[in-house]
A and B are shown apart, each in its own frame.
Chain A
Amino acid sequence: MIASALPEQTTATAAGPPSAGGSVASALADTGVDELLREFDSELIGLAPVKARIREIAALLLIDRLRRERGFTAAGGPSLHMCFTGNPGTGKTTVAMRMAAILHRLGYIRKGHLIAVTRDDLVGQFIGHTAPKTKEVLKKAMGGVLFIDEAYYLYRPENERDYGQEAIEILLQVMENNRDDLVVILAGYKDRMDRFFESNPGLSSRIAHHIDFPDYRTGELMQIAQRMLDAMHYRFDAEAASVFDEYLRLRMAQPHFANARSVRNALDRARLRHAYRLYSHPEADTSDEALTTITAADLRASRVFAAAEPGTQAAQ
């Protein structure tokens, strides 16, 4: 991959004139996208297939740019409409935000803003309301990225007079005709998106990149928790870290597990208990240590452990 080959190439071509066949690395350095990708790699945990695809897209845009400078034009730019599918909390929205910045840095979109919408923002409430509403949103998003969260809600098969279909048609038309002006990213849960595409094959075929977000493994979730705690200026003590690991295993086995979002919620609840523990022991000291440390007891109080209890007893 281009980024990994960067360091040695930079030194090799530092003196060469750029027009007479500079290296990929020098072009990459000009855009600053390498730094952005590196940041993307290090700040987001896991998501290997997503990162690989985004690297490929970045590479394509960069090479396209080099080709254009030499006069090799491919008719029209590449189509970059994307579809992110994955379970809740796997980072779809976060990646979409990054995507806008990356595409902007690569010069594919002109402004680099992201407009996040759902069905409510696109579909109107009465006849003749949908088209202007959808167009308004599309115009706002031009020059940037339009992110449609839970896109499958656009199509309601149970109601044949639903206005969602009209929104989809306008969307399709603009996606095709104004390809250079905006990038559309659809996001949603895998199974429902698949059903949505089955009933709208035109939409599926106009989206070049279907990217599936895998679930996080326990180790990755642990890293994410660590990252979140750092950002909030908390930390686990030695025992709490292993208890949280155990918590994650139990929680993952339960229904409605929402990956990173569940981790965030668990930490938020632990913060509540931590605060209440300090509050209910007024005589306890309020050193920095006490204010920032989440202990095993704060985590143990979770319902998840209580629910697991009968199971473990039965096993014994």
Chain B
Amino acid sequence: MRLTQGTFSFLPDLTDEQIGKQIDYCLGQHWAVAIEHTDDPHPRNAFWDMHGAPMFDLNDAAGAMYELAACRAAFPQRYIRVTAFDSTLGVESIRIAFIVNRPEHEPGFRLVRQEAPGRTVRYSIESYAVAANPEGARYS
């Protein structure tokens, strides 16, 4: 199942050149670009792992692309996204986040039904990517 999260996620995957142009746009807006990765693409998982500190003083996309290449080399089978942080007073938040790397096989999510009193059913989803690894293996 193809993960659709963040900006551009319904488009075909961006090429490196396109990623560079998007990053250039972000830098032009004076946003700080950061690179994050995770193995758990659950939509409510707000806390992806940071690959290095956000890059506050970049002038050109090449610097971010350099870090992206390093992140891809280290975690080829993880989701990697580029985020851009706007430090303007009153915003101070992520303006844009888009996926730039996906694992070869995206297992998707399992729907979990929980029986509750009075024949109520509570639903939740769980990423197979997380369930695939046995206990203790994820954070080793």
Contact = CB atoms under 8 A, between A and B. Distances in A.
Contact of B60 (A135, A144, A174): A144
B14 interface: no
Contact of B59 (A132, A135, A144, A174): A144
B55 interface: yes
Contacts of A136: 57
Nearest to B61: A143
Interface stretch (B62-70, B87-95, B100-108, B128-136): B62-70
B52 A111 contact: no
Contacts of A181: 60, 62, 66
Interface in A133-163: 135-136, 138-144
B58 interface: yes
Interface in A103-149: 110-111, 113, 132, 135-136, 138-144
B59 A111 contact: yes
B133 to A, nearest CB: 29
B60 A110 contact: yes
B52 A143 contact: no
A143 B62 contact: yes
B63 A142 contact: yes
A265 interface: no
B59 A142 contact: yes
Contacts of A138: 63, 66
A141 B66 CA distance: 12
Q: Which of A113, A142, A144 has the most CB of B within 10 A?
A: A142
A178 interface: yes
B31 to A, nearest CB: 15
Contact of B66 (A110, A111, A113, A139): A139
A181 B60 CA distance: 9
Interface string A153-180: 0000000000000000000001000100
Nearest to A180: B62
A149 B74 CA distance: 33
B59 A113 contact: yes
B62 A142 contact: yes
Contacts of A135: 66
B2 to A, nearest CB: 31
Interface string B40-73: 0000000000001001011111111011000000
A135 B57 CA distance: 12
A266 B66 CA distance: 47
Contacts of A110: 60, 62
Contacts of A139: 55, 58, 62-64, 66-67
B59 A140 contact: yes
Contacts of A141: 59
A136 B67 CA distance: 10
A224 interface: no
A206 to B, nearest CB: 18
Contacts of B61: 143
A88 to B, nearest CB: 29
Contact of B52 (A113, A132, A140, A178): A132
Contacts of A182: 62
A140 to B, nearest CB: 5
Nearest to B64: A139
B32 to A, nearest CB: 12
A181 B61 CA distance: 9
B66 A178 contact: yes
20 contacts: A110-B60, A110-B62, A111-B60, A136-B57, A138-B63, A139-B62, A139-B64, A140-B59, A141-B59, A142-B59, A142-B60, A142-B63, A142-B66, A143-B60, A143-B62, A144-B59, A144-B60, A178-B62, A178-B66, A181-B62
